[in-house]
Amino acid sequence: MSERVFSGATRIESVPGNDRGIAYGDGVFETMRAARGGIAWWPAHWTRLQEGARRLGITPPDPAFVRAQADELLADDDAVLKLIVTRGSGGRGYAPDAGAAPTWVLSRHALPPAAPAAGVVLRWCSTRLALQPALAGIKHCNRLEQVLARGEWNDPAAPDRDAFEGLMRSVEGDVVSATAANLFVLRTGRWWTPRIDRCGVAGVCRRWLLDDLDARESRLDVTDIETADAVFLCNAVRGILPVARLGTRTWTPHAQVAAARERLAQANPAFSAINPETT
């Protein structure tokens, strides 16, 4: 991993110990896929980061400066780029300092291993997502619910320890997303995805697919998922991931999922290297 840390426009050695991102998760972040130095969906990522910063009352850094630093860090590589923006340093206590310079960190990471060629295996997570409309949709830095959920199948006694991902529900029982991906299901000839108005992250890849698939948003329950004709996950790093199994329910490869993956690869060069037959 390579990284650069800044306070406002000044490069610094490391994130200060009194940074509010460390103390309270007081910040937002974006995780992006880069191919040959080009960043997939950069405008959409920056728009979501700005919206998250606006809701939290954080002034984000200059986008042109951030992009210039990102381009230098990537150096034409195929990689994952992560951008974290926090409120900056502050004293003890929750009250935010309106004059604090934001801390921001750019880091470059290796691409993740290829997903199973036959499709991914999912499990249901026991950890539920709390309802908080003020934070719904944005990618804020407090992701402890996802951390707890992802840790569930590290237990040697846990079922489906071979699962690639886990599906999370809200405290009211509706299905929201996977721990690190959005969810789409095909039912009665139409694609559906859970609403992200009370909790969850409104993914950048999800936004593209809502338009591409003419998909609809709705409250979905467990039965809606388990009886669907096809299911896939998506995020901005891996693109579209077909689902092969959830518990005892299995799905065979579906032509509509394969077609969506092909359109994504054509529309976004960062995903052109993801061969639907091998990843």
CA angle 129, 261, 272 (to 5 degrees): 115
Statement: residue 277 has pLDDT above 50: no
Statement: residue 99 has pLDDT above 90: no
Q: In the prediction, which pLDDT does 91 show?
A: 80
| DSSP-assigned states of every residue in 100-166 | PPPEEEEEEEPPPPPPPTT-EEEEE-S--BPP-TTTTBS-BS--HHHHHHHHGGGSTT-S-TT-SEE
Confidence of residue 87 (pLDDT cuts 50, 70, 90): very high
Q: pLDDT tens, 160-214?
A: 778 999 999 999 999 999 999 999 999 999 999 999 999 999 999 999 999 999 9
Query: Residue ranges per domain, the chain?
Result: 2-109, 120-271
Q: pLDDT tens, 120-172?
A: 999 999 999 999 999 999 999 999 999 999 999 888 877 777 899 999 999 99
Q: In the prediction, which pLDDT does 154 show?
A: 85
Statement: residue 98 has pLDDT above 80: no
Identify the CATH number of the domain defined by range 2-109. 3.30.470.10
The phi-psi region of residue 26 (left if phi > 0; otherwise alpha if psi is between -120 and 50; otherwise beta) is beta
pTM of the model: 0.93
Q: In the prediction, which pLDDT does 159 show?
A: 74
Indicate the burial class of 116 (C-beta count within 10 angstroms; 0-12, 13-18, 19 or more): middle
Distance CA(131)–CA(178), nearest Å, equals 16
Statement: residue 278 has pLDDT above 60: no
Identify the CATH number of the domain defined by range 120-271. 3.20.10.10
Instruction: Name residue 109's beta-bridge partners.
Output: 80
Q: In the prediction, which pLDDT does 173 show?
A: 97
Task: State how far Cα 33 lies from the chain centre.
Answer: 11
Taking 3-state DSSP, the helix, strand and coil percentages for the chain, each rounded to the nearest 5, stand at 25, 30, 45
Looking at every residue in the chain, the average pLDDT score rounds to: 93
Q: In the prediction, which pLDDT does 109 show?
A: 96
Statement: residue 96 has pLDDT above 70: yes
Dihedral over Cα of 12, 16, 19, 22: its sign: positive
Q: pLDDT tens, 35-86?
A: 987 898 999 999 999 999 999 999 999 999 999 999 999 998 899 999 999 9
